[in-house]
């Protein structure tokens, strides 16, 4: 459950990109704080629904998210996804980046000479940006732009990368960009403001 929640929270972050933020000031304490908040959110999500219950809000900072990715991320994210970072901007805009191993993706299916992934190898930085809307128990990430190794790429190519790294036996097609998804753990909404987010259950 923790792994799935971390992926859902981080899906739009992993493939969202802007200027990377320095990580030297991130601490294990920040990561532990985020981990405790995730555990609390998951715990509340397992409780029976109570009519007219007051909403519970859990706030976390951009710094806590990045610390969580730095210290806990290697155990949570798929192999080949390295050094994810996030920036939460105004208006629900998510910006971030990650380094991905394209060799595994490139070899995952037969490719023609017109396929750009035929010619890209090794670990490459992926950046993207978009807007996350999450209300009434449903979230949707609207992609604005994406780059691969500094070169602008179409959504279809980014979708292939996202599919490869998010597919599971339960969801063989992985996460679909722009498609609505059910928020986990009885989360009703996520409110974003610059540098922070609030989960409402």
Q: What is the tens place of the pLDDT at every residue in 94-138? A: 988 989 887 766 665 554 444 555 556 678 899 999 998 999 999
Residue-level pLDDT at 125: 92
For the chain, strand residue ranges (E) read 57-61, 81-88, 93-101, 123-135, 138-148, 151-152, 181-182, 189-193, 196-200
The residue ranges of every structural domain in the chain are 2-200
Could you tell me the pTM of the whole model?
0.80
Work out the number of other CB atoms within 10 angstroms of the CB of residue 59. 12
* Residue pLDDT tens, the chain, 201 long: 444 444 445 544 443 433 344 445 899 999 999 999 998 998 998 888 887 789 999 999 999 999 998 998 888 777 778 888 889 888 888 988 989 887 766 665 554 444 555 556 678 899 999 998 999 999 898 999 999 888 899 998 888 888 877 877 877 888 888 889 888 889 999 999 999 999 999
Maximal CA-CA distance, the chain: 59
Burial 170-185 (b: 16+ CB within 10 A, else e): eeeebbebeeeeebbb
- Give the separation between CA 50 and CA 22, rounded to whole angstroms: 43
Contact 175, 16 (CB under 8 A): no
Return the HEC string of 61-74. Answer: EHHHHHHHHHHCHH
Summarize pLDDT for 28-42 with one digit per residue, the tens: 999 999 999 998 998
DSSP code for 185: T
Residue-level pLDDT at 146: 93
């Amino acid at each position: 459950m923790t792994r799935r929640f971390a992926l859902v929270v981080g899906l739009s972050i992993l493939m969202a990109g802007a200027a990377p933020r320095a990580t030297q000031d991130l601490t294990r304490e920040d990561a532990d704080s985020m981990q405790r908040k995730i555990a609390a959110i998951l715990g509340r999500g397992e409780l029976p629904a109570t009519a007219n219950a007051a909403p519970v809000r859990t706030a976390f900072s951009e710094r806590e998210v990045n610390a969580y990715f730095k210290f806990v991320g290697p155990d949570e994210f798929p192999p080949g996804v390295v050094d994810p970072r996030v920036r939460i901007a105004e208006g629900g805009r998510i910006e971030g980046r990650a380094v991905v191993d394209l060799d595994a993706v490139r070899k995952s299916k037969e490719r023609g000479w017109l396929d750009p992934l035929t010619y890209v190898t090794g670990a490459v930085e992926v950046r993207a940006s978009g807007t996350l809307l999450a209300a009434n128990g449903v979230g949707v990430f609207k992609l604005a732009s994406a780059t691969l190794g500094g070169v602008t790429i179409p959504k279809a190519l980014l979708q292939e990368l996202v599919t490869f790294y998010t597919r599971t036996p339960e969801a063989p097609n992985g996460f679909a960009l722009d498609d609505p998804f059910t928020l986990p753990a009885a989360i009703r909404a996520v409110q974003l403001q610059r540098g922070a987010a609030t989960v409402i259950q």
